[in-house]
Amino acid sequence: FLGAVGSELGMPTYIVGGFVRDLLLNKTNFDLDIVVEGNANSFASAFKNYFDIKIVEHKEFLASSMFFHDGLRIDVATARTEFYKRPAALPEVDMSTIKKDLYRRDFSINAMAVKLNQEEFGMLIDFFGSRNDLARGTIRALHPLSFIEDPTRVLRAIRFEQRFGFEIEVRTAELLKNCVREDYLDKVAGQRLRDELNKILLEPQPLKAIRRFSTLGVIEKLFPGVVFDRQIDFAVEKYFLRRPRNIGYIGEDRVFYTLMMILLRYSSNEQVQWNIQRYGLPRNFLERLKDARENADNISRESPERPSEYHRMIKSKKAETLNFLNSQLDDERDRSFEEYLKRLKGTKLAIDGEHLKRVYGLKEGPEIREILDALYCARLDGLEIEKEDGFVKNFL
């Protein structure tokens, strides 16, 4: 139907990018990116005549997002030719517009389109040998300046390489290394890098990508001062191998924070501050990192065993701090710490401050806190929930 609307307006209409790539790889993809040779905002308005959709226009890009009630979203963009604007440009030759649109994309595998207008419905548009690259498992930049134009493509190349088990083509790898060596990553806004990093962290195997970063010299450019040595590698590995079992709701940013804590474990305060600024980390990140490091040192020095010992030693119970600590432990400490995390998640007191006041006539004050803390620690160490009252009586 998209094609029919396009034809009605006389606009060649294509589905492009990741969707086409994944279609050829037989993978599902719900990112529907449409490109029209014409005004995408007019396209969206015409589409609204037939479907009850909400439209959000992105005027500056001549693009619209169309939202359906069932949650489906389709993005429509105007085929872009802005890099080629010339006064009195020749009238566009057939398909030159979509070709230019595809040419400004990141890699050949993402630069295919499928035509949607009835006349040529389903026609695969492949100007750059994309299909061949897809079949061979090659990540290839479309032109020599690709990484310089947009250095976030360095991260994207590694993401796709790891996701599909592909290989970055030799010449593309040279261009990538050159971009990294010449410090082009410095020119990109931190937030854009963070967004690309987060996408990598959402992939099933971020560890491989991070190791690849390290061999390509990307880590020290992204995070100056970080030396990706055996120790850090070990902690990163531990974190990602364990992540499914780790505690807390692991949202994107939390994974990012935890990774930053692990990478910046041995960095100076100045270096940490620099990273806070660059990547928009919370202002108290340095304090949190210092506390977490101190906790890690205490744990390795004092070798706690019981859950309550861990509990008293660890100040912040935020998921990223606990996950960071988990990544820092030696094998000896592993089991007892995991046990602590498990108990921490499963332990909730049956009685509360109100109960203490009502049943034991206690007054508001620090004593109540103290009793509840002691009780909680006893519960962590295995006290059964029915024995809470008995514990309080004893305590008093």
Q: Is 367 in the site for ligand ATP (CB under 6 A)?
A: no
Q: Is 80 in the site for ligand ATP (CB under 6 A)?
A: no
Nearest approach in angstroms of CB 117 to ligand ATP is 21
**Window 150-209: residues binding ligand ATP (CB under 6 A):** 150, 152-153, 156
d(CA 64, CA 45): 9
The secondary structure of 127-151 as a DSSP string is SSSHHHHHHHTEE-BSSTTHHHH-T
d(CA 296, CA 186): 32
Residue holding tokens 């410095």? 186
Of 80 and 379, which has the nearer Cβ to ligand ATP? 80
Of 142 and 375, which has the nearer Cβ to ligand ATP? 142
- Number of H helices and number of E strands within the chain? 21, 9
Closest CA to 336 of 377, 305, 295: 305
**Window 114-133: residues binding ligand ATP (CB under 6 A):** none
Closest CA to 111 of 212, 227, 24, 11: 24
Residue holding tokens 């108990």? 343
Per DSSP, 107 falls in state B
Q: Is 7 in the site for ligand ATP (CB under 6 A)?
A: no
Angle at 123 (CA atoms; ends 119, 125), nearest 5 degrees: 130
**By Cβ distance, which residue is nearest to ligand ATP?**
18
Q: Which of 106, 126, 169, 309 binds ligand ATP (CB under 6 A)?
A: 106
d(CA 298, CA 314): 9
Element (H, E) at 275: helix 269-279
Stretch that binds ligand ATP, among 105-113, 235-243, 256-264, 354-362 (CB under 6 A): 105-113
Of 38 and 151, which has the nearer Cβ to ligand ATP? 151
Q: Is 105 in the site for ligand ATP (CB under 6 A)?
A: yes
Stretch that binds ligand ATP, among 102-110, 178-186, 297-305, 382-390 (CB under 6 A): 102-110
Strands 32-36 and 73-78 turn out to be: parallel
Of 29 and 65, which has the nearer Cβ to ligand ATP? 29
d(CA 154, CA 310): 41
Stretch that binds ligand ATP, among 29-37, 41-49, 126-134, 271-279 (CB under 6 A): 29-37
377 Cβ contact partners less than 8 Å away, ≥ 6 residues apart: 307, 308, 311, 312
Nearest approach in angstroms of CB 338 to ligand ATP is 33
d(CA 220, CA 228): 8
Nearest approach in angstroms of CB 104 to ligand ATP is 6
Nearest approach in angstroms of CB 150 to ligand ATP is 5
Q: Is 96 in the site for ligand ATP (CB under 6 A)?
A: no
What is the number of residues in the chain?
396
Nearest approach in angstroms of CB 195 to ligand ATP is 9
Of 185 and 372, which has the nearer Cβ to ligand ATP? 185
Q: Which of 7, 8, 18, 184 binds ligand ATP (CB under 6 A)?
A: 18
Of 73 and 242, which has the nearer Cβ to ligand ATP? 73
Per DSSP, 247 falls in state S
Q: Is 238 in the site for ligand ATP (CB under 6 A)?
A: no
**Window 133-152: residues binding ligand ATP (CB under 6 A):** 150, 152
CB neighbours of residue 93 within 10 Å: 8
Nearest approach in angstroms of CB 193 to ligand ATP is 11
Phi, psi at 381, each rounded to 5°: -85, 0
Q: Is 252 in the site for ligand ATP (CB under 6 A)?
A: no
Q: Which of 13, 81, 97, 110 binds ligand ATP (CB under 6 A)?
A: 110
Per DSSP, 90 falls in state P
Q: Sort 336 into a burial class: Cβ within 10 Å, 0-12 / 13-18 / 19+.
A: middle
Q: Is 31 in the site for ligand ATP (CB under 6 A)?
A: yes
Of 29 and 298, which has the nearer Cβ to ligand ATP? 29
Point out which residues bind ligand ATP (CB under 6 A): 17-18, 29, 31, 33, 105-106, 110, 150, 152-153, 156
